[in-house]
Amino acid sequence: MNTLNNKVALVTGSSGGLGKAIAERYAALGASVVIHYNSHKEKADEIVNKITSAGGKAIALGGNTTKVAEIEKLFTDAKAAFGKIDIVVANAGIEQVELPVTEIKEEDFDKVFTINTKGSYFTIQQAAKHVEDNGRIIYVASSTTVFAVPGMAVYGGSKTAPKYLVEVLAKEIGHRGVTVNSLIPFAVDHSGIFAQPDSFPDLRKSLLDSCPMGRLADIEDVANVAEFFASDLSSFVNGQHLLVNGGATQ
């Protein structure tokens, strides 16, 4: 069984969705967890209460990941609370779908790239500065970075740039025993844009039709891979991008 005893994990965007599932998984494996939020403090506090009530260790820290100074403070505060950081998951982001290229506005581009690209870049940068030797840095990308999906040019593009950063950083700090990898999920049911079962029905059907397993990803499917990347099992996996998509072609 994997164990993260005596490890400290910081998961951005973990007040809900995939980030919440990953943070809770790490806590269940024995890690002390930093639940990061931007605007949903009450949700972050609920997760902390759930973890601590079960005997785990967790704190909630806020911060806008589009602001470098706030990212820096997030890492400083996390280390002040737990003394170190062993695992960082750069998960915070937003989705944008069903927006054809001809209808993209400048403000659409700026918003999505600021949150998804700039935010992830500088989160990963701070992770490289602060993570302990033999630590783990994990970027949550998107299957739209592998398969082109109509209506997702801006979203897929914003998630692609940090994947290159993953490969570069893996080479720059690999000598410290730190691994840097991307987790690339398919569309996730009951999360994000598919939080409601009747949301985006045409897109849902198209994605389901492309997947030989006939379903979207579950939150736990993604948490399983996040567990692998955080554990000793992945100690020689570095600079890689792992698709969690059931063999889908979209």
Find the CATH number of the domain harbouring 151: 3.40.50.720
249 in a structural domain: no
The tokens for 226 are 């996040």
Say how many domains are in the chain. Answer: 1
Provide the residue range defining the domain that includes 110: 8-187+222-240
Instruction: Write out the chain in H/E/C secondary structure.
Output: CCCCCCCEEEECCCCCHHHHHHHHHHHHCCCEEEEEECCCHHHHHHHHHHHHHCCCEEEEEECCCCCHHHHHHHHHHHHHHHCCCCEEEECCCCCCCCCCHHHCCHHHHHHHHHHHHHHHHHHHHHHHHHCCCCCEEEEECCHHHCCCCCCCHHHHHHHHHHHHHHHHHHHHHHHHCCEEEEEEECCECCCHHHCCCCCCHHHHHHHHHHCCCCCCECHHHHHHHHHHHHCHHHCCCCCCEEEECCCCCC
In order along its 250 residues, the chain shows pLDDT tens digits of 679 999 999 999 999 999 999 999 999 999 999 999 999 999 999 999 999 999 999 999 999 999 999 999 999 999 999 999 999 999 999 999 999 999 999 999 999 999 999 999 999 999 999 999 999 999 999 999 999 999 999 999 999 999 999 999 999 999 999 999 999 999 999 888 998 888 999 999 999 999 999 999 999 999 999 999 999 999 999 999 999 999 999 8
75 located within any domain: yes
Considering the domain boundaries, does residue 206 fall inside one?
no
For residue 196, tell me if it sits in a domain: no
Q: Which amino acid would we find at residue 16?
A: G
Dihedral of alpha carbons 136, 89, 25, 225, sign: negative
